[in-house]
Structure 1
């Protein structure tokens, strides 16, 4: 899931309007940004087949630090406290953690029972309802979720730009849901994939901040 996470950021920003929008934007992105850094550094593992482009074909072998409910939330709290101290607003830490937890909850909807709960053991309880197994349905569901949440929460002067932004980024990844081309653009490299994920999250945060900030 990608734009769905940013829909959650818009909703959190709407509910807590006194907090700068960059906080929920960073919070919902935190697990995947952390994941990208850890995969690039070899700490966490994922397996890709260059001839299988679908999201359901990705094997997330190990990512307890970046994608567990408990451990990732603890790390998010640390980052949130640093941001709260820097911005002199203790409530920011709470919002950052809520945003990070929303990432895990939304990922549970689409992942295939590989999301750990605690993050401290290889025998961890794992969740995932597997919507990615139905790629076209997952694509439409995430897109509708984004449109509905954005329409409700984003002020009208910025709404069209935010909808356009989400549409562009979502359709860039359309092959991962439909498999029109039987090849993965990353060439089966987990590190290359992580770099792409890091880049698109940073770009979406940047563009959203420019529009809404």
Structure 2
């Protein structure tokens, strides 16, 4: 079970809501952008380049202690990743508006993490300045923000696309319910090891693939 990422469903809400701003962009691309720094984090964790540990009680909401991840989650590197992501996307799509929306989504990940994380988000590699407002110290506050963002994003996405067709509509709502079920289920669970967290994090790409599939007939 992908412990870290399915708990942070606000990022997916941002991706779905962005469909209003970039209606021709695929939901898969929007999810990839919104979750990009979490997509690159699991390989870095598994390779030992970045580090985290399980520390029950470190926050009220999650036991994960992200004590060294400057290459994926520092503010400077997030900006660099956003520029790189946008540059590749523009080279493929040649669409300025979509590119800007996707760059903003990559940056939005750091902004949302800043809201919920304790002060563990670095400014830049090698700089011992850390940020985080610590919303994870309030379970009720975290639930209110995350669920509101996710459900609002799902509504905005579904209201902005052409009819998905029966199979894709079922697929869309099935995964929405799955997200919510895993999210609630994770509230009472502690991952057995960081290796499991890293390995399960690779499953994030399945949600990217889901986004491309469900949006197949709405993005051009």
Count of matched residue pairs: 204
> CA 1:112–1:52 in 2, change beyond 3 Å: closer, same or farther?
closer
Corresponding residue number in structure 2 for 1:39: 45
> CA 1:101–1:86 in 2, change beyond 3 Å: closer, same or farther?
same
Instruction: Tell me, yes or no, if structure 1 residue 165 matches structure 2 residue 170.
Output: no
Corresponding residue number in structure 2 for 1:211: 214
Q: Deviations over 1:131-188 (max 9, x none)?
A: 22222442343122211222133237457754542331232132443x3x5xx2x31x
Question: In 1, are the aligned partners of 2:10 and 2:145 still within 8 Å (CA)?
Answer: no
Q: Deviations over 1:31-71 (max 9, x none)?
A: 10111111011111101158999643211011111112221
3-state SS of 2:118 partner:
coil
For residue 202 of structure 1, the aligned residue among 173, 196, 205 is 205
3-state SS of 1:112 partner:
coil
Instruction: Compare relative contact order (CA 8 Å, sep 6+) and give the higher one, 1 or 2.
Output: 2
Instruction: Tell me, yes or no, if structure 1 residue 48 matches structure 2 residue 54.
Output: yes
Compare 80-89 and 157-166 and name the one that shifted more: 157-166
TM (normalized to structure 1)? 0.81
3-state SS of 2:66 partner:
strand
> CA 1:160–1:106 in 2, change beyond 3 Å: closer, same or farther?
farther
- Runs of 4+ in structure 1 off by over 6 angstroms are 50-54
Corresponding residue number in structure 1 for 2:3: none
Aligned residue runs from structure 1 range 57-206, under 5 A: 57-89=63-95, 91-116=97-122, 118-124=123-129, 126-155=130-159, 157-158=163-164, 162-177=172-187, 179=188, 184=190, 186-187=191-192, 189-199=193-203, 201-206=204-209
TM (normalized to structure 2)? 0.79
User: Gapped runs of 5+ residues in structure 2?
Assistant: 1-6
Matches of 1:114 and 1:210, distance apart in 2: 35
Question: In 1, are the aligned partners of 2:33 and 2:85 still within 8 Å (CA)?
Answer: no
Matches of 1:195 and 1:68, distance apart in 2: 22
Q: CA deviation at 1:119?
A: 1.5
Matches of 1:36 and 1:3, distance apart in 2: 17
Matches of 1:164 and 1:3, distance apart in 2: 15
Q: CA deviation at 1:107?
A: 1.2
RMSD: 2.7
